[in-house]
Amino acid sequence: MYKLFRQKLLQALSIGLLSQLAWSQPAIPPSIEPMVSTFPSGSGNVERWGAIEIKLIGPAEGNPFTEVVLSGRFSQGGRVVEAAGFYDGEGVYKIRFMPDMVGTWYFETTSNRPDLRGKKGSFNVMAPTADNHGPVSVRNMYHFAYADGTPFRQIGTTSYAWTHQGDALEEQTLQTVATAPFNKLRMCIFPKHYEWNKNEPLLYPFEGTAPAKWDFTRFNPAYFRHIEQRIGQLRTLGIEADIILFHPYDKGHWGFDRMPSGADDRYLRYVVARLAAYRNIWWSMGNEFDFMTEKIPTDWDRFFQIVQAADPYHHLRSIHNGSILYNHTKPWVTHVSIQSGSAAEDFERAVIYRDIYRKPIVFDEVKYEGNLPQRWGNLSAEDMVLRFWQGTIAGTYVGHSESYLDPNEIIWWAKGGVLHGQSAARLAFLRKIMEDGPADGLDPIDKWQDYPFAGKRGQYYLGYFGRDARTTWPFELYKAELKDGMKFKAEVIDTWNMTITSVDGVFEVKKRGNYLFADKDGRSIALPGRPYMALRIVRLP
């Protein structure tokens, strides 16, 4: 299905649908699915899980960012949802809302300013279009699904500062993800000042003078318009935007990593007010949060609580570690985002995190495919793909990025652009296998033993042998949910060469010993003696 999303953008680019702008900032293409302005006309139409925008004209004097309070009450029947408004500059105020039910909705504004208070209207919410499945949330404890129930099998990538690189490179990044297998992209709100990424951005998030003279009480709306427009384009492509709210890759250069607490809190509420109505938002409180030495542990708890309270749609919330893990058992954490270079290299280690946290586990950083001198940036493509498969067999999810040296310092991990490695095609192959699997997700079949299979007991088995170059595998399945006489078909999967070969015949199982069911005739499956092989075994009706 993700191919349809990419075709949509490519077609739009080819016929010029992205040539006109939503505001007066040249050469930034808008999303194909626009925000809808409903006020002052007071009526409009939007699809379910789309976004509707109420635009109001109000006071521009003083400091509207701190002195004006605005929100909207959206109602349908007896249900009421409140969404905070925000100041968008030049006397313009906006409230955005993502309706989750079809039918007629009504709204009324509230404010501490009379010219923004009591504005009323209505709009009609239609059924969603085919590519709109709603926001992603946790499903079946360890997995994800869209709001309409469609499973979401995470195949993510990271390009931290791609929205701070200028139109040409950013549009190239969009073209790349349009044909890549990724359905989630991790990205920073703040710019990045780090190795291979020390160019100044074109815009800054606050009023002031670069590099470090900022008025943290006044946002730069153009900066956030640019980011939200890119998020809208990812939404059109069916890609979730995993928004990193804070990061340590500033080191005081701009000072966004060491703002006072009041500025931190005000920034979080402003970002949530602007972005929460996009259905493809995930919130990440911080990347390598423990490396931000100006913050203390209770700051991160507060950040989670602010975002949770401000977001009326309850988008997914996580935090990413450097050396120290956050306490992911806390109730405001919806899923676990982990950096580990080794856990996903072994499915038996990866699965432990599921047992500890009892939430979806995403190994968002397992080192990167590339050739940097740093150990975190020089995985081979084979090792990157192996980590994805091992994580999948553990019932977890894995993230990708690339870090190949470039004379112009355009590295995907930092700036986007184009992909150079060999893993992306193999991850597309894995994604298709995941999507053809059980709708409830892949869970370990027997996590208490060296048994490299995930799936649904008694129905579906996906096994992966990693670097083990086997020549044969005895047809033996863990006993749970099996009975004598059940019949199965098997396929041999070459995860590197991306081939699937059917195994001749039908395997009928019979109980053998205390823990296994085996083929009643004692047959085995021949394997080619190469690494990175997998098996798919499916029960016949």
For residue 260, give the DSSP letter: -
Does this chain's domain 23-126 share its CATH topology with 452-539? yes
Q: Read off the pLDDT band of 34 (50, 70, 90).
A: very low
80-105 pLDDT tens trace? 999 999 999 999 999 999 999 999 99
Q: Check residue 30 and give its pLDDT.
A: 39
Give percent of the chain above pLDDT 70.
92
Rounded CA-CA distance 143/390 in Å is 16
Nearest Cα neighbor of 183 from 413, 421, 397 is 397
Please state at what angle helix 2-15 crosses helix 221-236, rounded to 10 degrees: 120
pLDDT over 90 at 6, yes or no: no
pLDDT over 80 at 15, yes or no: no
Give whole-number Cα distances, 74 to 1, 46, 77, 101, 134, in Å. Answer: 33, 14, 10, 12, 18
241-291 pLDDT tens trace? 999 999 999 999 999 999 999 999 999 999 999 999 999 999 999 999 999
Contacts of 133 (CB under 8 A, 6+ apart): 49, 146, 147, 148, 150
Q: Read off the pLDDT band of 44 (50, 70, 90).
A: low
Q: Check residue 19 and give its pLDDT.
A: 22
User: Are 143 and 393 contacting, i.e. CB atoms less than 8 angstroms apart?
Assistant: no
Q: Read off the pLDDT band of 23 (50, 70, 90).
A: very low
Rounded CA-CA distance 112/67 in Å is 9
356: phi > 0 → left, psi -120 to 50 → alpha, else beta; which? alpha
User: Are 387 and 344 contacting, i.e. CB atoms less than 8 angstroms apart?
Assistant: yes
Superfamily classification of domain 23-126: Immunoglobulins (2.60.40.10)
pLDDT over 60 at 1, yes or no: no
The full set of domain ranges for the chain reads 23-126, 149-435, 452-539
Nearest Cα neighbor of 432 from 490, 467, 392, 489 is 392
Q: Read off the pLDDT band of 67 (50, 70, 90).
A: very high
For residue 259, give the DSSP letter: -
User: Are 366 and 402 contacting, i.e. CB atoms less than 8 angstroms apart?
Assistant: no
**CATH number 2.60.40.3950 is the correct assignment for the domain at 452-539:** yes
Rounded CA-CA distance 475/527 in Å is 12
Q: Which tokens go with 378?
A: 């020089």
Q: Which tokens go with 47?
A: 């699809």
Contacts of 28 (CB under 8 A, 6+ apart): 21, 167, 226, 229
The pTM (predicted TM-score) of the whole model is 0.93
Rounded CA-CA distance 344/324 in Å is 17
CATH class of 149-435: alpha beta
Rounded CA-CA distance 93/356 in Å is 45
Return the higher-pLDDT residue of 21 and 478: 478
Instruction: Give the mean model confidence (pLDDT) for residues 479-493.
Output: 98
Q: Check residue 26 and give its pLDDT.
A: 27
pLDDT over 70 at 130, yes or no: yes
Q: Check residue 45 and give its pLDDT.
A: 85
What residues does 337 pair with on adjacent strands? 362
Q: Read off the pLDDT band of 448 (50, 70, 90).
A: confident
Q: Which tokens go with 103?
A: 């039918």
C-beta contacts of 348-353 below 8 A and 24+ residues apart:
348/394, 348/447, 348/450, 350/390, 350/391, 350/394, 350/396, 351/394, 351/395, 351/396, 351/444, 351/447, 353/396
Q: Check residue 450 and give its pLDDT.
A: 87
